[in-house]
Amino acid sequence: MAEIRYKQFNKDSKDCSLGQICSEPLSYGMGAAAIQFNGDYKYIRITDIDDETRSFIDDDPTSPDEVPDERYYLKESDIVFARTGASVGKSYRYKNSDGKLVYAGFLIRARIDLTKANQNYVFGQTLTNKYNKWVKVMSTRSGQPGINADEYSSMPIKLVDKEEQDLIGSFLEKLEKQIELANQEIEAWKTIKDNLVEQLIYKSGFKRAILSSLVEKKHKVEKECTGYIEISDVIPNENRYLFDEAKELAAGAKKAEEGCILVSTVRPTRGAICTLNQNSYVSGAFLQLYPKIGINRDYLLFAISSYRFLHKMGSFSTGSTYPTIDKDDILSFEIPVPETSVQNDIAERINQIARLITMKVEKRNHLVNRRLALLNKLY
């Protein structure tokens, strides 16, 4: 029984399955590789769905390398679900404001019948603790994390009267709007920060040095490490990461020390770059950088997180669906390097903006957590 209800409604909710409120069977996405955005339709994959807000990440859009059939385009009543991997269960509700979207093969689409259910109301149930428990049970039955279309179709859904659904859906949409506005503010400050990096670092006429000359060639990690950080744990373009001390190690995990700068070599233009706050095991797909004495750690972090540096990494990447770059190629890139005192001054000026962005992110996350707490009482 829901803890929160509109006073004018007192009928008990009904149990049904997701498949029963869809206008057609759940379906798998397009199995094409991703290429550079063609200016028309975008490709949404599991990694294009933000883990925290469940919004579409539009900062580095791609397109499928084949012309998509009409059935692969998302519509306003659609919800897609990740069907495999560590992100199984992750959901996204399509909005027209996200533009023309084609969904990829590792996603499953549910097209809600709007005469039976409100899509916002249904989507809200995919953000609850109850849903996460269902995903955990369903995805481990075969031993390999994954949920197929038939299993998603059987997902239990709580339905109240359509009128109450619409009221709840409208309220959730307003809350989502607040989160979107907070995201827009964050993106605006990120642009300011990027411009500042460009002006202070790349347009100041400093002498240049290749990255490999600024970091230790070999760094033996002897300290004890805990937890495991993979590329998907790093928030793109925010220089921060999510840490779970109990996370199991994956094959190829490496030790890394506090203060190490991690640079993702997979889909490098996304900007999955951060500085470690503790000794930890990390994915072997990260390039680990330990700045030499005289190189300001934050200065180096900002220089290699810039749009200019990310764009260069993209130009050296190979592969389509998940482009990768060789670690030695990254180490061969040049960046401007002034005297240490100037590095310190520049790093502090940029950090002032970075700290403001962190505050805005925390405010946004408060809204996300507030939504989650409310959803767990609504369903």
Q: How far apart are CA 189 and CA 203, in angstroms?
A: 20
pLDDT surpasses 60 at 4: yes
Q: What is the pLDDT of residues 207-221, one digit of tens each?
A: 999 999 999 987 888
**Sheet of 273-275: strands edge to edge?**
273-275, 261-264, 286-289
pLDDT surpasses 80 at 50: yes
Question: What is the identity of the amino acid at 285?
Answer: A
Task: State whether residue 71 is helix, strand or coil.
Answer: helix
Q: What is the pLDDT of residues 149-163, one digit of tens each?
A: 999 999 999 999 999
Task: State whether residue 316 is helix, strand or coil.
Answer: helix
Q: What is the pLDDT of residues 97-118, one digit of tens each?
A: 999 999 999 999 999 999 999 9
Q: What is the pLDDT of residues 227-268, one digit of tens each?
A: 999 998 998 888 999 888 878 888 889 999 999 999 999 989
Q: What is the pLDDT of residue 178?
A: 94
Query: How many Cβ atoms sit within 10 Å of the Cβ of residue 122?
Result: 25
H or E stretch at 28: strand 27-28
Task: State whether residue 159 is helix, strand or coil.
Answer: strand
Q: Residues 232, 86: contact at Cβ < 8 Å?
A: yes
Q: Residues 261, 273: contact at Cβ < 8 Å?
A: yes
Nearest to 131 by CA among 157, 109, 94: 157
Q: What is the pLDDT of residue 2?
A: 59
Q: Residues 300, 262: contact at Cβ < 8 Å?
A: no
H or E stretch at 210: strand 208-210
DSSP string of 166-194, one letter each residue? HHHHHHHHHHHHHHHHHHHHHHHHHHHHH
Torsion-angle region of 17 (φ positive above 0: left; ψ -120 to 50: alpha; else: beta): beta
pTM here is 0.80
Q: Residues 47-62: what's their mean pLDDT?
A: 88
Question: In 58-161, which ranges are continuous DSSP H helix?
Answer: 119-125, 129-139, 149-153
Q: What is the pLDDT of residue 5?
A: 66
Task: State whether residue 32 is helix, strand or coil.
Answer: coil
pLDDT surpasses 60 at 333: yes
pLDDT surpasses 80 at 3: no
Tokens of 371: 């939504």
Nearest to 298 by CA among 265, 269, 274, 328: 274
Q: How far apart are CA 87 and CA 97, in angstroms?
A: 24
pLDDT surpasses 60 at 324: yes
